[in-house]
Amino acid sequence: MSASPKRARSRRLVVMSNRVGPVRGAARAGGLAVALVEALRESGGLWCGWSGRVADAVSDRPNLGEADGIRLATLDLSVAEHEDYYNGFCNRCLWPLFHFRIGLTAFERHYYEAYRRVNARFAHAFAPLLRADDLVWVHDYHLIHCGQELRAQGCRQALGFYLHIPFPSREVLLTLPNNDQLVQALFAYDVLGFQTARDVERFLDHVANECGAQVSGDRVTAYGRSVRVGAFPVGIDVAGFERLAHGGEGLRQWRRLREQLAGRQLIVGVDRLDYTKGLAERFQSYALLLETHPEARGRIEYMQIAPPSRGEVPEYAAIRAELEGLAGRINGRYAELDWIPLHYINRAYSRSALAGIYRASHIGLVTPLRDGMNLVAKEYVAAQDPADPGVLVLSRFAGAAWQMKAALIVNPYDQVAVAEALQTARDLPLEERRNRHAELLRGLREYDLARWREDFLAVLREAPAARAAA
């Protein structure tokens, strides 16, 4: 039986994620931190994870702290752990594999061993901090084994796991050595949350066919354990983002850009510099638009903001070099004395500046080759002026495409189709832009960030309070 809502609300939330914080700057940093910090604060919660520091000698005793009524417990990573666990298994193995990029996946056994050790070290350090009726919410692919390790420490709390990135299809996951151990570890949790119904389907397909799991409604049983599985698409703080776009720094950016554009149309892309985001294909699609629609030349600009990420991983250095070459070639071929077709910017902007940039642009170009959700697509819509909104061109392979059907949905591998969608977006009549935007905004408001969090926690609260330890 589930606990009464009043009592349930008072249960403490414990979040475990690879990175902890920021707590005080959460509103500025935006995204998930806001939702998690809010829930942690409400319940006097605890946030556990990596401190972000890499040290020669590390302690297994967590650093304890407090910020804004939230307790923090962090561990440093050793140089070897950072290399093999974080850069290695997380970013060179699970990240590409879960984004369907077998060719970029580094299948090193010692990476997985380091991953197991770090997950165990985290669980060991954080288990003593847990109280019997805590709700423990573990986030993302860095910590899949954490639940199993917590159970091994005797933890009987309600344990939930949320995967922010896609769950791969069976044939892809089977290429990973030790995939059976990784999947079995998921059954230590009480609730498994994915971004989309499609991710849930792929998970069920895998466990039903490879692990002999029994599926009944949202319950899946294997390895003697039963978990509840569901799609909980991540949303954004819509009202907060609208405010950013229409005041302060956002408003200033919007004015400045609109002035500079002097009547030209602006396409904007905002992504971490990552090979999953489809940036090279996107640049080429834009070049194709300029090639096949010469009348667009001089009348449109494309601004791609892409701050470098994971610089220590070789595949990221490669994509960076490729994009620099492509941007140079496109500008070299099409630029005029008074017109630069592509502005490629490798720095991060504040969320308020981004909101203003989105609002000033006529087309939001979001074409990942594969993405768990993609919050930029949602932020772009929230920043628009409803009376004269821009058009979202969105990849069918972003989780967001499952909710945002009123966008212009494209296949990012089909450069001809993307170029044509850009041309369609350029000419879309005001009424159609308004209708599409209104529908997209309705969807965003209905399933926002708070709803995502509350829906997941509501299911987690129903987990049996004291389940058998592993």
The residue ranges that bind ligand ADQ (CB under 6 A) are 30-32, 164-165, 234, 270-272, 305, 307, 348-349, 354, 371-376, 379
Cβ-based nearer residue to ligand ADQ, 375 or 428: 375
Q: How far is the CB of 226 from ligand ADQ (least distance, A)?
A: 26
Smallest gap from Cβ 241 to ligand ADQ, in A, equals: 9
Is residue 399 a contact partner of residue 233, using CB atoms and an 8 Å limit? Answer: yes
Residue 116 or 277 with smaller CB distance to ligand ADQ: 277
- Give the count of alpha carbons within 13 A of 3, CB side only: 21
What CA–CA distance (Å, rounded) separates 315 from 294? 34
* Tokens encoding 368: 């990942």
Active site residue 142: no
Query: Each residue of 282-312: b (16+ CB within 10 Å) or e?
Result: bbbbbbbbbeebeebeeebbbbbbbeeebee
CB of 305 to ligand ADQ, least distance (A): 4
* CA distances for 299 relative to 262, 302, 307, 336, 403, angstroms: 10, 10, 26, 12, 32
Q: d(Cα 180, Cα 14) in Å, to the nearest integer? A: 28
Q: In angstroms, give the least distance from the CB of 25 to ligand ADQ.
A: 13
Q: Which of 142, 145, 164, 206 is catalytic?
A: 164
* Residue whose CB is less far from ligand ADQ, 13 or 33: 33
Instruction: Tell me whether residue 288 or residue 457 sits nearer to ligand ADQ (CB atom).
Output: 457
Cβ proximity to ligand ADQ: between 93 and 130 the closer is 93
CB 359 within 8 Å of CB 333? no
Between 76 and 237, name the residue whose CB sits nearer to ligand ADQ: 237
Provide, rounded to whole angstroms, the least separation between the CB of residue 309 and ligand ADQ.
8
CA 84 from centroid of its chain's CA atoms: 22
Q: Is 110 a catalytic residue?
A: no
Who contacts 201 (Cβ-Cβ below 8 Å, separation ≥6)?
A: none
Nearer to ligand ADQ, 191 or 213 (CB): 191
Return the ∠ at Cα 200 (arms to 414 and 8), rounded to 5°.
135
Closer residue to ligand ADQ (CB): 270 or 441 = 270
CB of residue 165 vs ligand ADQ: minimum separation in angstroms? 5
Torsion angle (degrees, nearest 10) of CA 353, 358, 361, 365: 130
Residue 209, both tokens: 């066919």
Minimum distance between the CB of residue 267 and ligand ADQ, rounded to whole angstroms? 15
**Those residues with Cβ within 8 angstroms of residue 137's Cβ, 6 or more apart along the chain or in another chain:** 13, 14, 15, 16, 160, 161, 162, 456, 457, 460
Pair 26, 37: CB distance under 8 Å: yes
CA 161 vs. chain centroid, Å, equals 15
Nearer to ligand ADQ, 28 or 333 (CB): 28
Least CB distance from residue 365 to ligand ADQ, whole Å? Answer: 13
CB of 287 to ligand ADQ, least distance (A): 22
For residue 335, CA distances in Å to 266, 299, 332, 339, 358 come to 15, 12, 6, 6, 23
Phi, psi (degrees; rounded to nearest 5) at 65: -150, -175
Please enumerate in sequence order all residues whose Cβ is within 8 A of that of 56, keeping only pairs 6 or more positions apart, or say none.
78, 79
List 84, 371, 437, 448, catalytic entry: 371
Provide the annotated active-site residues.
Answer: 164, 371
